[in-house]
Structure formats: structure tokens, C-alpha cells
Amino acid sequence: MPNETIELLYRHRSIRKYKPLPIKQEQLSQILSAAQSVSSSNFLQSSTIIRITDTNKREKLAHYSGDQSYIIQAPEFWVFCADFNRFYQIEPNLQLEKAEQLLLGCIDTTIMAQNAVIAAESLGLGCVYIGGLRNSIDKVTELLALPKYVLPLFGLCFGYPDLSEQPEIKPRLPKELVFFENQYQPINHNLLKQYDEQMNSYYQHRTNNKKVGGWSDKIAEIINRENRDFMLAYLHKQGWITR
């Protein structure tokens, strides 16, 4: 039997509708402490979170993210940034803009965010990440006054789930397709087909946004849609990955 923590992880689903209730200061502080408790590459602590309380900024961020209204509705909206500007302020003669630093900042910040999600879910809150924030990353950078060497990766909405919306847990890929021993394995098409059937049934029976089709037939559309071709130029401008 999975323990309580593992049960909590298994129950995860994104929540996009919230009760209009503020989250207690003590809980926010616990979520932040949990986020800060993660491992950190070389103990650099290369992340910054910006909490958005300004309604006008929320509205703009919701619009920039593709009109995702829950950014406005959520009691809390935090923006997670990879941050090497802090190091630059401490030591202006650093060798920055390296590819490895981009990876480090993204890895550490993402790990940090997931601790925040687990802490929030353990308190009965629901969350959804907002990668849509990167749709208009230039405008987000300006709105939040992000200096060079700061990279906004995603937002996180959270709050008490509105029980009128109870999204089902999404089935995950069969373990055999994501967990290999000793070397990489080609895809097992039979297992993929079974998973596509399972997802087709999930999509047709779930409460909201019912649709037809499996999982694998959506990949091309999604990957081609989320291309954000401006990203390399943005990264260069913002002082990331020029060498």
C-alpha cells in the first residue's frame, strides 16, 4: 500500500477553478519554505519567485498567456524564474550566458516549483502550471521588470478547488514506455496502442472538454503549435545561452 505522501502524488490533477477564498499567510509561508527546501545544484539557489497580487498585472498576464482566465481568478499566482542576476549583483565579473547555466537554472527552478505544488496539494489546495506565460515572454519580462539573467519559466495558479469542477486523474503512459534498464529502448507500439485506446476512452468520458482520439495522435499538433520561434532571440537578449 502506498503511504500518505505517495497517495497524494498519485491523486494529482491540475485544478483550474478555485473558491474565492484567500490562502492563509501561514500556509503560504509553508509552501514557500517547502519550495526552498529542495536540492539545489552547487547550492546556488538560482531561482526567484514573483508573487502577483496586482489585479492589473494579473489581467495582463492572463491575456499574455492566451487568455487563461484562471490566472485572474486564482487566489494565488506565482511566477517562477531562473535567476542568475542575483549572482551578477553579488559579483559583476562573472562569466555568464553559458548553455550549462540555462540548464541549471531551469532544472533547479522546476524542482523548486514542484515542491511548492506538493506542499500546496498536501494542504488541500489545487494548482495548475502556466507555461502559456512564455507565449509573450517579452511582455512578461517588461511587466515584471525582469533584468538580464532572469528567465520567467512558468506561472503557478493555486487556491482551494471549486468542487463544481472535479477533473478526473489522467492516465499516464505505461511504465514500460518511460522506464528502461541499462540502455535506451525503441518504442513498444503495442503498448502505445493500448494506451491510445485508454486515453481515447478517458477523453470521451471525462467531465469537461470531451474529445475523440488517443494520446499519440495529438503529439504533432501540440509540438508544432508550441514552437515559440522567438525564444532563441529572447534568450540571447536576456543574457542566456550566447555561448
Ligand X SMILES: Cc1cc2nc3c(=O)[nH]c(=O)nc-3n(C[C@H](O)[C@H](O)[C@H](O)COP(=O)(O)O)c2cc1C
Nearer to ligand X, 14 or 39 (CB): 14
Q: Which long-range contacts (CB under 8 A, 24 or more apart) does 84-92 make?
A: 84/46, 84/149, 84/150, 84/239, 85/147, 85/148, 85/149, 85/150, 86/46, 86/48, 87/44, 87/46, 87/149, 88/148, 88/149
Q: Residue 122 Cβ, how far from ligand X at the closest point, in Å?
A: 16
Q: Residue 89 Cβ, how far from ligand X at the closest point, in Å?
A: 27
Residues 180-200 as b/e (b if ≥16 CB within 10 A, e otherwise) read eeeeeeeeeeeebeebbebbb
Quick one: cell of 220?
504533432
Nearer to ligand X, 52 or 97 (CB): 52
Nearer to ligand X, 97 or 140 (CB): 140
Q: Which residue has the cell 497524494?
A: 8
Nearer to ligand X, 6 or 94 (CB): 6
Q: Residue 118 Cβ, how far from ligand X at the closest point, in Å?
A: 13
Q: Residue 14 Cβ, how far from ligand X at the closest point, in Å?
A: 4
Q: Residue 170 Cβ, how far from ligand X at the closest point, in Å?
A: 4
Task: Provide the pairing of β-strand 150-159 with 47-51.
Answer: unpaired
Nearer to ligand X, 12 or 98 (CB): 12
What does the binding site for ligand X look like in residue numbers (CB under 6 A)? 12-14, 16, 68, 128-132, 154, 167, 170
